[in-house]
Amino acid sequence: MTEKVLGILELENKPMMHPGALSAPGTFGFPVKRLTVPGATTNSVVGSSSASVKEAYIACAKQLEGEGVSAIIANCGFSAPFQNDVAAAIKVPLALSSLLLVPLLARTLPAGKVVGILTYDSTKLEERHFAGAGWSTRDISVAVGGIEGSETWRELAEPNPVISPEVVTGDIVSAVESLMKANPAIGAIVLECAGFPLAANAVREATGLPVADYVSLGRLMIEMSPCL
């Protein structure tokens, strides 16, 4: 049996490589094949993405499929609007955005609890991103917060972010705590950004809540993908 390989479609911005981040060596216990999507940057994907960016995601997904990956994810949750079109172009399982995890976590919660979403920029996360991930705030109650204005937020927009894991973790935990203070009904948390998993355990410790992220998604995709 051939070992399963996870494909990751990445932004042109250099991903964080600190231990625990999505693209860092050793994050997964299985092989990973990374591919940069031309024209996909923090600004172009988080903003109003053009048709050319979507086509680039489709072309790169086809390339990864041709190279034999078992499943594909991306490294920006704001790529969710491309989900249906990219999935239609390939045969291997695809999950572009960690926002796809929201309905799953919502179903695990008791009545009255909501899913908290911590995102790179809460001012840019819209209903179209949720729709791309297959759900709506009409059906699932969520509370959204972001790290905008923080050092991590500023660095992640740079072509080659330079920031320590301690600063990243501090910014994320601080944003989560603010989100929970404003929304005490939060019962679980989804981390949208691919850099956030390095702080996932710190968020679990600080909140005592279940936390899902891109690493959770990548592991799920490999577990469920067919054996070759």
Give tens-digit pLDDT for 128-146: 999 999 999 999 999 999 9
Give the separation between CA 160 and CA 7, rounded to whole angstroms: 22
Amino acid at 5: V
Q: Which domain range does residue 68 map to?
A: 6-97+216-224
Which residues in the chain show pLDDT less than 70?
1, 49
The secondary structure of the chain in percent helix, strand, coil, rounded to multiples of 5, reads 45, 15, 40
Domain shared by 154 and 186, yes or no: yes
Helix/strand/coil for 170? helix
Structure tokens at 47: 């903003």
Task: Report if residue 55 sits inside a domain.
Answer: yes
Domain shared by 86 and 110, yes or no: no
Task: Report if residue 171 sits inside a domain.
Answer: yes
Instruction: Determine the pLDDT at residue 49.
Output: 65
Domain shared by 111 and 17, yes or no: no
Instruction: Determine the pLDDT at residue 62.
Output: 98
Chain length of the chain: 228
* Whether 70 contacts 214, CB under 8 Å: no
Task: Report if residue 105 sits inside a domain.
Answer: yes
* Whether 12 contacts 43, CB under 8 Å: no
Instruction: Determine the pLDDT at residue 39.
Output: 94
Q: What is the pTM of this model?
A: 0.95
Residue 189 sits in a domain whose CATH number is 3.40.50.1860
Domain shared by 77 and 171, yes or no: no
Task: Report if residue 1 sits inside a domain.
Answer: no
What residues contact 160, with CB distance under 8 A and at least 6 apart?
13, 14
Domain shared by 84 and 108, yes or no: no
Task: Tell whether the torsion through CA atoms of 7, 222, 197 and 55 is positive or negative.
Answer: positive
* Counted domains in the chain: 2
* Whether 100 contacts 79, CB under 8 Å: no
Instruction: Determine the pLDDT at residue 57.
Output: 97
Instruction: Determine the pLDDT at residue 135.
Output: 98
Domain shared by 118 and 208, yes or no: yes
* Whether 108 contacts 142, CB under 8 Å: no
Among left, alpha and beta (phi > 0; psi -120 to 50; other), residue 47 is beta
User: What's the DSSP call for residue 142?
Assistant: E
